Structure 1
Amino acid sequence: MAEIRTNKSTLNRGITVPSLIFIVVTSFLAALFPEQTGAVLDQIKHFIFVNLNWVYVWSVTIFVFFMFYLILSKYGNIKLGNNDSKPQHSYFSWISMLFAAGMGIGLMYFSVAEPMQHYSNPIFADLDPISRAKNAQLYTFFHWGIHAWAIYGIVGLSLSYFTYRYKLPLSLRSCFYPLLKERIHGVWGNVIDIFALCSTVFGITTTLGFGVVQINSGLVNMNIFPDTSFSYQIIIVAVLVAASILSAVTGVSKGIKILSGINIVAVIFLLIFVIAVGPTTLLIGSFTEGLGNYISSFIELTFNTHSYKTDELPWFYDWTILYWAWWISWAPYVGLFIAKISQGRTIRGFVAAVLIIPTMFNFIWMTVFGNSAMWADRTIADGTLSSIAGNPDVLMFRFLEYLPLSGITSFLVIFIIIIFFVTSADSGILVMDSIATKNSSKSSKLQIALWGVLLAIISLVLLNAGGLDALQSMTLITALPFSVIMILFIVSLVKALRIDYKYYDRDFSATTDLWSSDTWEDKLNQIVTFKNRSAIDNFINTTVKMAFEEMKAVLSKYEITSQINTYQKPNRIELEIHYDVLNNFIYGVRTESRNLPDYFLNEENLPDANSDKSFYPLSYFGDNRQGYSVLYFTKNELITDVLKHYERYLKLTSEEKNVMFISRNRHLKKLQKVKQKLKN
């Protein structure tokens, strides 16, 4: 029985069944009718990119500036977890894992290809070679820099916060809790998670498919495989997915963590080698200049839509908008994985690390490989690399042929791509299982393995049928609605952070300042007894009124004229001291109410309430400062509180620097005098 219980599926049917139906139908349409499906989806994608590209531009801009705001805001010290929680992983392991999941194969696929394609693009042909190289580096930085990681950061931060701070499931639905409350556990929550699961499967499948093609090309280039036929791709997928499944079932702290660490070391070794044997001085100088160019052009790049240069619009759609859509489509998967490994970090530490560290590494990597390739193309390759810029599958290996030890470095590149493949797939498998099970920690190894098998089958079917492009278009189309969802994440996160900050920053009520132990039983009785409107009205008409009348009588002895004002709706009373030039001093108390939540009313060990509203007497002041409940004050304590505010008033009015705040009546007096003169 124990064994049966252990192997029981933890899948949530409301999420898994609709998701699998949509995934299978879409994949087989792309496989059976690749040209027709691709054409339809490409038309939809083209329409979105041309007519709704501003949605991507503004969304990504909002993401970037919101992340900067969080670094500088008062919310930066809030922990992603309990206030005393500690990070689960070392800083190096954490950075290695989020980097491997966030960029992975893309770094190997585009590090030479993208700069070379910008460098050789006909729309920049009027520039000289050096200017084209600078331009290529700038746009590569732009596409792989802060904007990309801000997209991942929004999802990762939102998930981390609501999972570890609010104790909600590690699921996209949890990010809507401040907006939807308990409805996240119903149909709306399922719809959100279905979207996330489908987006994750499509994004990982297409990326892994392209990764398989590049690995195959590299093995052919090294004469290990004779060609790039489908039979060899089956072998690659079978071996790598098996390794991914093995890594996934061992968990984040073992397989993924170890592989990410190995990979980052291999990447750094390859990077140092290219710097050493390549144009070292050029690379160091171009990185410095490129970083400065990126910083100085940051705002212009962010808001540039190329509207005034119509010849650049196709390039803008095919690069910048496609990248924003691609990063957004990957955000559910990468964000979920980043959240899974980020418990215990502060918001400021999370955002700063996610934005800056991977971005700087990307810049170094793209500078070294991209600028080395452009340098080689200008000096020793005689334009050969430019001529094959449109074939990124082999471009990296062709570039390495112009450097020493090309056989060893090509093998190292394949090794790195394989590790990236495995770390992307195994983290994706865990994320898919997490979404489908609403973050269950009891999934069997067989169930986790089945997600890997699903990825392998879909990848192979689409590779054989040529349907990867169609699935990629589908993935990019889903980025449009998800960009709107991410905006709602920000709204929800801001609402939650404000509540969070006020909760932990809130001090004891001002009412408690004057308490003594002599009347503690009376105070306890007042605390646990909820008042209705008539009880509060009675408190105002007796205790508060007697306190004000006693004060008025004593003030008259000092020749200070005051009056007591009473009002009916809402019931309120105030003590007012009139002045000629200064603003009048006012201390008032009025009846207010607040709604009591259902969980509070139903909790047996909380004070009983007779209705869903609780009434209390709220103080208010002539200068519109925030008041507080005076319910627990005795008459003498209330008088003492009025005196505290009166002493503050006199101190402020005696300082000339406060004239704009305490002498508004002065302007009214002057205006009245002018009107009187005009009448006369």
Structure 2
Amino acid sequence: MIKLIKQHSTFNPPVILASLLLVLFLSITSLIIPTKFQETLFAFREFVSVNFGWFYILTVGIFLIFIIFLALSTLGDIKLGLDDEEPEFSFTSWLAMLFAAGTGVGLMFFGVSEPLSHLKSDVTLVDGVHSAQQAVFLAMFHWGLNAWTVYGIMALALAYFGFRYKLPLSLRSCFYPILKDKLNGGFGHAVDAIALIVTVFGIMTTLGFGAAQLGAGLEHLSVINSNNLLVQIILVVALMSIAVLSAISGVGKGVKIISEINVVLALLFMLFVLFAGPTLHILQAFVDNFGYYLAHIVTTGFDTYAYEPQNQEWFNNWTVLFWAWWLSWTPFVGLFIARISKGRTIREFIFGVLVIPTIFTIVWFSIFGNTGIFIDNTVANGALNQLTGTPEKLLFAFLDYLPASSISSTLACLILGLFFITSADSGIYVLNNIATEDKSKSIPKWQCIMWGLIMVIITISLLSVGGLDALQSVTLIMSLPFGILLLIMCYSLWRGLMHDEAYFSTDTHVTAQYWDSKNWKRGLSKILNQTTQADILQFLKYTALPAMYQVSHELTEEYGFKTTLNRDFHEEDAFCEICIEIENMRNYTYGIKAVKKEISEHMIDDSSLPHIQDSETVIPMTYFSDGRAGYDVQYMTRDDLIMDIIKNYERYLSLLDEVGAEMMAHDQEELGE
């Protein structure tokens, strides 16, 4: 089996076999024992949501704090790629693709239904009255900054390690600073297998929503007689076929074109509702909603309703479920966003992925949510609220209260179909990427067809046993272990960024300025020979100490300064130093000490670095009385050290005229006391 997979596909056998076996098991079980399967599935869902709701909230909160810190720090200047690389896609095309792949179907499905659903719940009670503002805010909260933070953290890690470290664009690469050469071992396979499984079910949930709502729209337009399971199956097969054809054309062509068309249509649809509905009310509500969102996003983001047990059920069925949904979508959306984000800085990336989609989400729910509530309260007399139990029908019932409902409903169906195709197209690309062993190989077209078939089979299987609830339950359960992996990934990303900053902020060695064409061989010899304690003792005795003696003698004999030479050549604490006394100030000290430095195992094992044999090396490091950080001086000659002592003494004296006098005098007073 493994031999056949390697010969005829790009798949990584351990990853694809483990993933497909689990997917196959779930699909067959759901068809053979549907009732028992559904009961077990919902019991697991209840257990996870009740006992681990706090974990989902805390995890997303950590992601948000971490990613905002990166954007505001100097690390935000780092590019996702080489320093001179430019973005592959224009900013507008980039935004269109990440939006269409991220939440397109969901916003269409929940834009009207979610605020109305929250309005019925006790969670929106303010002074005994259900608050429309709170209802709309909760919908924005579920789809705004927190959701895109989850996508962003995954996409950032993938893009960073893929384009900066030049590692394969895969999830296991995100753990490189931790795993190093073990990246291609069992843990790496497990990471990709979990990601593949989570991605499959995350995509299925979205496609299930899209198929259900599209079927309801076609029924509303009298294109079909009823929106039953058979109709949804036909829709899934038809739209998936188009998605497969688009996927075969390549991400740079199919997804880009469809995404841009879809975003334009979605904007037109949104503007239609804005101007056909209560325009003034919507504009006023948007301003209120924006301010309310900014004021409450932090406290709500960490609210587990521990002090409001009456709202626990709502919390588990909405916030926990949504956070699990976003976690399950991170490999899918993250890989896709990473793929199209090469050449952007971390700060630009975070701004684009977090801020702009969040603003769009606030605008969307202000238009659809507030209009839905307004119509339900003034014209529909509660008729829309009664349809929250069948949210796939609600959007089209809502459009009936606006002018030209047939045209707007047709446009909504078209947008839903395109969003479905875009999500499935992107999903096929991502699934191929996760499952592929060698990312440089071109993907055979039959693999795109295979993933299309798998997604069709799973969607049909789960829709047949429990509808959208079954899809949501699997997503919630599968996302739990993946959330733990993402926390570890954040630590790995942090380590990678720290190494990056240290590497690219390090200038040429401080003593390289003393090298010239005459002594380049001596410098090269020093580099390619690992120094030992004995080498540094020789350096201290016969290079450093004589240099200090010459400076001391000159200052004493010619200028009358009081100087002291101190030394200790015991192996563990070897050092030598020159001290120049200064009245009423801290004495100037220039010292050199032997410092041990550990060598990484990676360098020792590297056959291309035969001169590195020991696990540690010893270097002569300077130290100063003013507490400044020292530097390695092993490449300096005696004359070089004399110049270095004098240059640092000149710096010390010049600073005494400025900020140094206060610092050194203050320190001297404390020592006196």
* Structure 1 CA distance for aligned equivalents of residues 258 and 626 of structure 2: 62
Task: Give the letter aligned to residue 635 of structure 2.
Answer: Y
SS in 1 for 2:162: helix
Match of 1:257 in 2: 256
* CA offsets 1:193-215 (integer angstroms, 9 cap, x no match): 00000001111112212221111
The offset of 1:601, in angstroms, is 5.3
CA deviation after TM superposition for structure 1 residue 55, in Å: 1.6
The answer to whether residue 493 in structure 2 is matched with residue 490 in structure 1 is no
Q: Distance in 2 between matches of 1:35 and 1:423?
A: 33
Q: Is the 8 A contact 1:429 1:448 kept in 2?
A: yes
1:209 alignment partner in structure 2: 208
Q: Which residue of 1 aligns with 2:653?
A: 650
Give the superposed CA RMSD: 2.3
Letter in 2 for 1:270: F
Label 1:310 to 1:464 Cα distance change in 2 as closer, same or farther (>3 A): closer
Deviation at 1:657, TM superposition (A): 6.5
Unaligned runs of 5+ in 1: 671-680
Contact 1:96 1:261 in 2 (8 A): yes
TM-score, L = length of structure 1: 0.93
Once residues 170 and 246 of structure 2 are traced to their aligned partners in structure 1, the CA distance between those partners, rounded to angstroms, is: 22
Asked whether 1:441 is paired with 2:441, we answer yes
Render the CA deviation track for 1:216-253: whole Å, top value 9, x for unaligned. 11111111111123332232122111001001111111
Query: In the alignment, is residue 563 of structure 1 matched against residue 562 of structure 2?
Result: no
Q: Does 1:385 align with 2:387?
A: no
Q: Does 1:309 align with 2:319?
A: no
> For residue 547 of structure 1, what is the aligned residue in structure 2?
547
Q: Deviation digits for residues 84-117 of structure 1, max 9, x if unmatched?
A: 1111112121111111111021011100010111
Report the equivalent of 1:175: 174
Distance 1:408 1:374 in 2: 22
Determine the C-alpha separation between the residues in 2 that align with 1:192 and 1:537.
49
The 8 Å contact of residues 150 and 330 in structure 2, kept in 1 or not, is answered as yes
Q: Confirm or deny that 1:111 pairs with 2:114.
A: no
Verify: 1:367 aligned to 2:369, yes or no: no
Alignment deviations for residues 26-84 of structure 1 (CA, whole Å, 9 cap, x no partner): 23323333443333333333333333322222211111122211221111121111111
- 1:481 aligns to 2:487 (yes or no): no
Which residue of 630, 637, 642 maps to 1:639? 642
CA distance in 2, matches of 1:217, 1:636: 86
State the Cα distance separating 1:127 from its structure 2 match. 5.4
**1:145-185 deviations in Å (ceiling 9; x for gaps):** 11110110000000000001111111111000001111111
Distance 1:552 1:337 in 2: 65
Q: Which amino acid aligns with 2:325?
A: W
Could you tell me how far apart the structure 2 residues matched to 1:234 and 1:306 are?
39
In structure 1, distance between residues paired with 2:5 and 2:151: 37
| Equivalence for 1:673 | none
Specify which of 623, 630, 633 is matched with residue 620 of structure 1. 623
Farther-moved stretch of structure 1 (150-159 vs 601-610): 601-610
- SS of the counterpart of 1:52? helix
- Given that 1:10 and 1:440 are in contact with CA atoms closer than 8 Å, whether structure 2 keeps it comes out as no
CA shift in 2, pair 1:662/1:185, >3 Å:
farther
Give the Cα separation in 1 of the matches to 2:317 and 2:273: 29
Deviations for 1:402-437, whole angstroms, at most 9, x for unmatched residues?
A: 001111111111111111111111110111111111
Separation in 1, partners of 2:508, 2:529? 19
Partner amino acid, structure 1, of 2:576: I
Q: What are the equivalent positions in structure 2 for 1:87-486 lying under 5 Å apart?
A: 87-124=87-124, 132-438=131-437, 439-466=439-466, 468-486=468-486
Aligned position for 1:674: none
Within 2, Cα distance between the matches of 1:231 and 1:142?
35
* Count of aligned pairs between the two proteins: 666
Asked if 1 retains the 8 angstrom alpha-carbon contact of 2:38 and 2:465, the reply is no
SS in 2 for 1:374: helix
Question: Mean Cα displacement is larger for which, 89-98 or 119-128?
Answer: 119-128
Q: CA deviation at 1:296?
A: 1.6
Unaligned runs of 5+ in 2: none
The 1:468–1:400 alpha-carbon spacing in structure 2 relative to 1, beyond 3 Å, is closer
Structure 2 vs 1, CA of residues 119 and 610 (structure 1 numbering), >3 Å: closer, same or farther? closer
Alignment check: 8 A CA contact 1:580 1:665 kept: no
Task: Please tell me the residue identity of whatever aligns with 2:537.
Answer: D
Written as runs of structure 1 = structure 2, the 5 A alignment for 1:506-517 is 506-517=506-517
CA separation of 1:532 and 1:7: change in aligned 2, threshold 3 A: closer
- Quote how far apart the aligned CAs of 1:512 are: 2.2
Could you tell me how far apart the structure 2 residues matched to 1:644 and 1:656 are? 18
Question: Structure 1 residues 467, 614: CA separation in 2 closer, same or farther (over 3 Å shift)?
Answer: same
Q: What is the aligned partner in structure 2 of residue 592 from structure 1?
A: 595
CA distance in 1, matches of 2:497, 2:123: 46
The secondary structure found in structure 2 opposite 1:616 is: strand
Identical amino acids, percent of aligned pairs = 39
| Residue 570 of structure 1: how far off its partner (Å) | 3.0
Instruction: Please give the per-residue CA displacement for 1:120-149, whole angstroms capped at 9, x wherever unaligned.
Output: 2245456577x6211111111211111110
> Partners of 1:381 and 1:316 in 2: how far apart?
28
Change (3 A) 1:624 1:361: same
Q: 1:658–1:187: structure 2 CA closer, same or farther, 3 Å change rule? A: farther
Report the CA distance shift for 1:389/1:605 in structure 2 as closer, same or farther (over 3 A).
closer
Q: Output the CA distance in 2 between the equivalents of 1:282 and 1:86.
A: 43
In terms of mean alpha carbon deviation, does 274-283 or 473-482 score higher?
473-482
Equivalent residue for 1:85?
A: 85
Task: Verify the 8 A CA contact 1:549 1:564 in the aligned structure 2.
Answer: no
In 1: Cα distance, 2:160 partner to 2:226 partner? 48
Q: In 2, are the aligned partners of 1:7 and 1:444 still within 8 Å (CA)?
A: no
Task: Decide whether the 8 Å contact of 2:321 with 2:472 is kept in 1.
Answer: no
Following the alignment from structure 2 to structure 1, what is the Cα–Cα distance between the partners of residues 465 and 525?
Answer: 76
* 1:59 corresponding residue in structure 2: 59
- Deviation for aligned residue 1:307: 2.4
Task: Describe the shift of the 1:186–1:336 C-alpha distance in structure 2 as closer, same or farther (beyond 3 A).
Answer: same
Contact preservation (8 Å) 1:11, 1:436: yes
1:536 deviates by: 2.1
CA contact (8 A) 1:120 1:389 kept: no
Q: Is the 8 A contact 2:565 2:576 kept in 1?
A: no
Q: CA deviation at 1:550?
A: 1.8
Separation of aligned partners in 2, 1:353 and 1:493: 19
C-alpha distance in 2, partners of 1:236/1:610?
65
Contact 2:544-2:641 at 8 Å conserved across structures: yes
CA distance in 1, matches of 2:39, 2:582: 79
1:581 deviates by 5.1
Match of 1:25 in 2: 25
1:576 offset after TM fit, Å?
2.8
Q: Decide whether aligned partners of structure 1 residues 150 and 126 sit closer, same or farther in structure 2, where only a CA change above 3 A counts.
A: closer
Partner letter of residue 235 of structure 1? I
Kindly provide the amino acid, as one letter, of the partner of residue 590 in structure 1: K
Matches of 2:608 and 2:175 in 1, distance apart? 29
User: Secondary structure of 1:647's match?
Assistant: helix
Q: Partners of 1:36 and 1:661 in 2: how far apart?
A: 79
Which amino acid in 2 is paired with 1:261? E
- Corresponding letter in the other structure for 2:655: L
- Distance verdict in 2 for CA 1:487–1:578, change over 3 Å: farther
Equivalent pair of 1:34/1:470 in contact (CA under 8 Å) = no
Q: 1:82 to 1:123 in 2, by over 3 A?
A: closer
